[in-house]
Structure formats: structure tokens, C-alpha cells
Amino acid sequence: MSKRRPYVRSMDGWWKKNPFYVEYMIHEGTALFVAAYAIVLTVGLVCLGQGEAAWNGWLEAMQSPLSIIFHLVLLVAIAYHAFTWFKLFPLTMPPIVLNGKKMEPCAIVGAGWTAGVVAALALFVIVWGIAA
């Protein structure tokens, strides 16, 4: 008779065992803050569709101290999410070959950041132009 009795270790609390996993869980968790901000903006859009009074009400709600604190928390969480999201580029993207050489991970992350910042600035300039 076999004396084998393989022991399976529990996965309880696995993400606390390694700083790498903690970072991963915070990264995944902060995605909820991105979703929360999307909901805030969607509510604004719905209010805009409902007319001037609803829109002004939303603008006023955005200026309350509680809303400003909430937005500061969102900013920190989303900044962390963005930072760790760009860091994942070399893992998730197919290799990019330039002049027969594979692009270095730091160059991929740098290019991602550059594209992100340029896109954000372009959007800002366009919206600023329309508003003016």
C-alpha cells in the first residue's frame, strides 16, 4: 500500500506573505477607485443631460469639503494605480523589436508614460481651447 500522503498548504492570507503580492493587491484594489471616479463623471454627465439646475447641483456637490477630500483620495489611489499599471507594460505587451534589438523594459515603461502624458496634455489643450 502506498504511504504517500501529499500535504496541501492553505492559501489563506497568501497576499500578505510577500511584498510583491501586497503591491499587486493594492494595484488591483485601486482599480475600484478608478471605477468610482468613472461613476462620479457619469453622474455629472447624466446631470448635464437633465438641465441647468441638475448640472449646477452637481457642480456644487463637487465643491463640498467632503467631495474635495474624496477627490484627493481618488487622486492618490489613481496615481498609484497608473504608476503600477505602466510598470506592467513589459509583462503584458508583445516584445517590441527595434533595429533587430528587443526594447528594454524601462524603455517600454518610459514610452508608455510619454504617450500617456502627451495624450493627457493634448486633451487638456483641446478642452481648454473649446472652453475659451
Partner 1 sequence: MSEQKIIEIEVLRYLPESDQAPHSEVYKVPFTDDMSVLQGVQYIKDNFDGSLTFRWSCRMAICGSCGMMINGVPKLSCETFIRDYYPRRISVEALDNFPIEKDLVVDLSGFIEKLEAIQPYIIPKEPRTVEQGEYIQTPAQFAEYIQYTSCINCMLCYAACPHTGLDPDFVGPGAMALLHRYNMDSRDGGQAQRMELAASEDGVFVCGATGYCSEVCPKKVDPGNAVNINKINAAKDYFLRFLSPKGGAK
Q: Using CB under 8 A as the criterion, which residues of the chain lie in contact with partner 1 when the complex forms?
A: 3-9, 11, 14-15, 17-18, 20-21, 24, 28, 88, 90-95, 100
Contacts of 73 (CB under 8 A, 6+ apart): 33
Identify which of residues 44 and 110 has a Cβ nearer to partner 1 in the complex: 110
CB of 126 vs partner 1, minimal distance in Å: 30
Identify which of residues 24 and 55 has a Cβ nearer to partner 1 in the complex: 24
Q: Which three cell numbers stand for residue 20?
A: 510583491
CB of 129 vs partner 1, minimal distance in Å: 36
Identify which of residues 7 and 128 has a Cβ nearer to partner 1 in the complex: 7
Q: Which three cell numbers stand for residue 94?
A: 508583445
Identify which of residues 17 and 122 has a Cβ nearer to partner 1 in the complex: 17
Q: Which residues of 20-51 are buried (b: 16+ CB within 10 A; e: fewer)?
A: eeeeeeebeebeebeeebeebeeebeebeeee
CB of 47 vs partner 1, minimal distance in Å: 36
CB of 16 vs partner 1, minimal distance in Å: 11
Q: Dihedral (C-alpha) 22, 26, 89, 107: value to the nearest 10 degrees?
A: -80
